Structure 1
């Protein structure tokens, strides 16, 4: 771009990085691989043990699902499974140089082969996002194997996001208890954070032969598969679902990476949110919008009170009795900006405007539902910015902004906040619902209810 009902987000860790979403490793994938899966490479390495277990389970899953989707039997992948050490080789089929596999995983239709970088890619992802990201990577590659068997044709980006959708469908099967894996909400948050890290560079043309989709596109497709099953993925076609890969405009936007300055964000976002809600609130609730009295960046050493109560343990909040939004403008919010960018900050402020909407509407939901509804309203506002449907709007969305928004919800979280706010996965789901379906949907049932 160029919480409790009274307070909101508790104080967050001082250093916020993408890997913070994952924390300690889960026990996912700690079992031994199926004896039927032979891996070329170091089969005893931890990442390859998990990969072999994933391969066995994916063959099981698709032998069940493929006939239901396509009306014919599933042919297992038989060309081999290659755990590659690019620095020493040997190279797997379909690779002509170490650079073809370094930092990569792929399915090669010509040889019916699945290969992965067991030296760099998988260990790095595992360290950052936990064990479950490894089977998710394999589930994505199996999506390409399914496409080969189904004769699917389309742009590269369409194939990639459909494979993400198929991976989400398999993950739902895991969560349902049908798999040898066991995935928690923490594991799913790690998987989504992994998708954000593997997104296209902002400004990538969606017709580019190597385009995989923005972080939002990839997360959106994963959640589509997870929520609706593989049948929803089968219907993908070029343009359906829409791929939100925005170009930089103008060239100066590219030079800045699409980032407004911190001072611009905290000044412009509240003005635009007021503009949005002054138009949308009356249409939703049949009453005029009451402006938020103040959006206040404060020094936590001199934190303002809310209704006479101290707020020193909070980094971001909406104060219901005094009708203002407060945020730590000395430490936490500037760090959010440094780590996540301008639209991450705007999104966090938008969630608090969502809480203000609920207060005006008399919504007495529990804290978790209120927080998710606020996330949904933030998504609805983002849709208005994206569509540029308000001539009075003072900001415009740049490439990568939606990825920044998801990072704000998925990664920039208070410690032990799942019960109060929902998991990162459910927060992203609520935001996506508002973005895709508008503010009206946010007045209904929230994810997980």
Structure 2
């Protein structure tokens, strides 16, 4: 996010990971038959086993150049499982056509000089891929898959291989003409991976299980980790080998998980362009994408939201964190709490600064961290005030998803420069959307009710936020009444 003076002063911006805040999950009966907060794409949102089954069927595929270790065994099981899914789904998706597996699986160790994949040396190749030239799937057992398993469990490995197999499906089904942008092919593959994960979550896999709460949250974390780096308009590499932002890739995954593999062919440049709309993709040359988390910035963002939403009684701001404890009708939800009784936003500025601390290593895969991880929480509490003014209930699971949706609306509103009375201009920048998505998945506060309680499914939280980003206030109120 950026803040600048209208006379053209340089923008200052900040990034950070939501590490200090957490939410509890709401329990009870759903309050809407249209969008059930306790279901994920029609499935119950439940915790349970996730990963390789103790009684998993043996792999049906052998791995060339394997070291015979656990990582290659896991990868072979994943590819065997993915092929079993496609043996069923491919004819259903592509007019009865028969599915043909890839010709071979190849493993290498990126720390070893002795390895080849797709005609190239694999030393330093920390990657997985589909090789069109010889119709093979390969992976790095030395660094990539162990890191994925450590960060996201067995299903992190299965997710990446399901994505790579998605490229094989694209080729076999002749979905794309020569010259189709990488961006399209990558998000189609994300979508196909989502369809496979739905099959696992439904209990159809003989090798893996996937819970629809924490298990699916972990898979989404893996999707976010493989987002594009943040480029500026001056970067020569911008738009070259583009895969998509975290928001875009998670959206594509959710299409496949919710609507099945038939929905993936609909992803093309036009569809991606519609999803992007006017959302920023590249940083302007004179900006860093970082807005320091400070009282001045908080006030400026609230001023911008007042202009965008025009409440009859804008909420007051209070920077004494202890004031949240005396609210008679809501529990504190630091680092930003909303008290309906006094119509006040209570900001714990030190905790908000921790949440908005800069990412230490921008080259490390993981959650997208930054200033909007913190400011999206501030926006969500402001949207509680907007809802309160309209007489809406604020302490239910439905309210939590409504808040996420309206936070998405506010996020899109701030992609257009908003000039505040003190002469500041507030604007969302490239990367801010990904920071909000990561925060919604990891801490859930921007998708919580007035007490800071959220729903168990990160998938449902992100989906509600996406509805708002791509919709408007009325769509949120209609979907989450």
Task: Give me the TM-score of the superposition, normalised by structure 2.
Answer: 0.78
The 1:127–1:204 alpha-carbon spacing in structure 2 relative to 1, beyond 3 Å, is farther
Aligned with residue 52 of structure 2, among 17, 20, 29: 29
SS at match of 1:363: coil
SS at match of 1:132: helix
Q: Which residue of 1 aligns with 2:94?
A: 70
Give matches, 1:148-163, under 5 Å.
Answer: 148-151=171-174, 152-153=176-177, 154-163=180-189
Aligned with residue 199 of structure 2, among 164, 168, 173: 173
Task: Give me the TM-score of the superposition, normalised by structure 1.
Answer: 0.83
Q: Which has the higher relative contact order, 1 or 2, with Cα contacts under 8 A spaced 6 or more apart?
A: 2
Q: Using the alignment, how far apart are the partners of 1:235 and 1:93 within structure 2?
A: 31
Q: Which residue of 1 aligns with 2:466?
A: 432
Q: Which residue of 2 aligns with 1:202?
A: 230
SS at match of 1:444: helix
Q: Which residue of 2 aligns with 1:321?
A: 341
SS at match of 1:434: helix
Aligned with residue 160 of structure 2, among 128, 137, 141: 137
Q: Which residue of 2 aligns with 1:356?
A: 385
Q: CA deviation at 1:260?
A: 1.5
Between Structure 1 and Structure 2, how many residues are aligned? Answer: 411
Which stretch shifts more, 370-379 or 188-197?
Answer: 188-197
The 1:413–1:207 alpha-carbon spacing in structure 2 relative to 1, beyond 3 Å, is closer
Q: Which residue of 2 aligns with 1:267?
A: 299
CA contact (8 A) 1:67 1:74 kept: yes
Alignment partner of 1:412 is 2:443: yes
CA contact (8 A) 2:53 2:209 kept: no
Give matches, 1:234-383, under 5 Å.
Answer: 234-242=265-273, 244=276, 246-248=280-282, 250-253=284-287, 256=288, 258-263=289-294, 265-278=297-310, 289-299=311-321, 302-308=322-328, 314-330=334-350, 332-338=351-357, 339=359, 340-364=369-393, 367-383=396-412
CA contact (8 A) 2:417 2:425 kept: no
SS at match of 1:62: helix
Instruction: Please list every run of 5 or more consecutive structure 2 residues that lacks an aligned counterpart in the other structure.
Output: 3-17, 23-46, 360-368
Q: Using the alignment, how far apart are the partners of 1:207 and 1:314 within structure 2?
A: 37
Instruction: Please list every run of 5 or more consecutive structure 1 residues that lacks an aligned counterpart in the other structure.
Output: 3-11, 17-23, 279-288
Q: Using the alignment, how far apart are the partners of 1:15 and 1:45 within structure 2?
A: 39
CA contact (8 A) 1:139 1:167 kept: yes
Q: CA deviation at 1:89?
A: 5.0
Q: Deviations over 1:141-166 (max 9, x none)?
A: 11100111112232001100111011
CA contact (8 A) 1:298 1:327 kept: yes
Q: Which residue of 2 aligns with 1:444?
A: 478
Q: CA deviation at 1:385?
A: 2.1
RMSD: 3.0
SS at match of 1:399: coil
Q: Deviations over 1:316-371 (max 9, x none)?
A: 321111111123212x2111101532222221111112222222222236522211
SS at match of 2:272: coil
Q: CA deviation at 1:56?
A: 1.6
Q: Using the alignment, how far apart are the partners of 1:295 and 1:171 within structure 2?
A: 44
SS at match of 1:318: strand
Q: Deviations over 1:155-191 (max 9, x none)?
A: 0011001110111111112222222321111121112
Q: Which has the higher helix share?
A: 1
